[in-house]
Amino acid sequence: MAQRPFQTGAVVNLSNGESSKEVTIGTVPTNKRFHVKFLGINGFGQPNQPLFYAVHVTTGSRIGIYPIAPSGSAGIAEPEFPARYFGSQEIILYADPGSDLIFTVARKDTTGNVRVFIDLCGILVDVRARSRADR
């Protein structure tokens, strides 16, 4: 079974007044399965404004939604985004061939702008064609 490293990412921007947004991070090639091994988040927003993050993957034709808990925050000298929320973690997720990888960012307080970067890293694995015996 052939494997190769794979990495993809996306950016989500929430404008003043927006409470949530979903973006497609990427689509798994039709002849591969994506074994997600690691993810990283760098969010820039407003102080004391918690953000919700989740990754959606399709495995076995079922969509799973996996919330992400960032590990830290810090104030920064940036007028538009005075707070930074960050974290990275090892994970084990599997995404079906041809499925979309989706990332959600949400917040309760919609004051100010938010920008969140997500990166996923893992391995693309060849999916062999099913023979009659496998069906």
Mean pLDDT over the full length of the chain: 92
* Distance, CA of 118 to CA of 135 (rounded, Å): 37
Say which range, 14-18, 67-71, 100-104, has the weakest mean pLDDT: 67-71
Question: In this predicted structure, what is the pLDDT of residue 129?
Answer: 57
pLDDT tens string 29-79:
999 999 999 999 999 999 989 999 999 999 999 999 999 988 899 999 999
Torsion over CA: 7, 23, 41, 97 (sign):
negative
Question: In this predicted structure, what is the pLDDT of residue 128?
Answer: 78
Task: Please check whether residue 93 is in contact with residue 44, taking contact to mean a CB–CB distance below 8 angstroms.
Answer: no
* Distance, CA of 105 to CA of 114 (rounded, Å): 9
Question: In this predicted structure, what is the pLDDT of residue 130?
Answer: 53
* Distance, CA of 124 to CA of 34 (rounded, Å): 5
Q: Reduced to 3 states, what is the DSSP secondary structure of residue 132?
A: helix
Across the range 80-103, mean pLDDT stands at 95
Selection from 41, 20, 31, 65 nearest residue 121 by Cα: 41
Question: In this predicted structure, what is the pLDDT of residue 134?
Answer: 46
Question: In this predicted structure, what is the pLDDT of residue 133?
Answer: 47
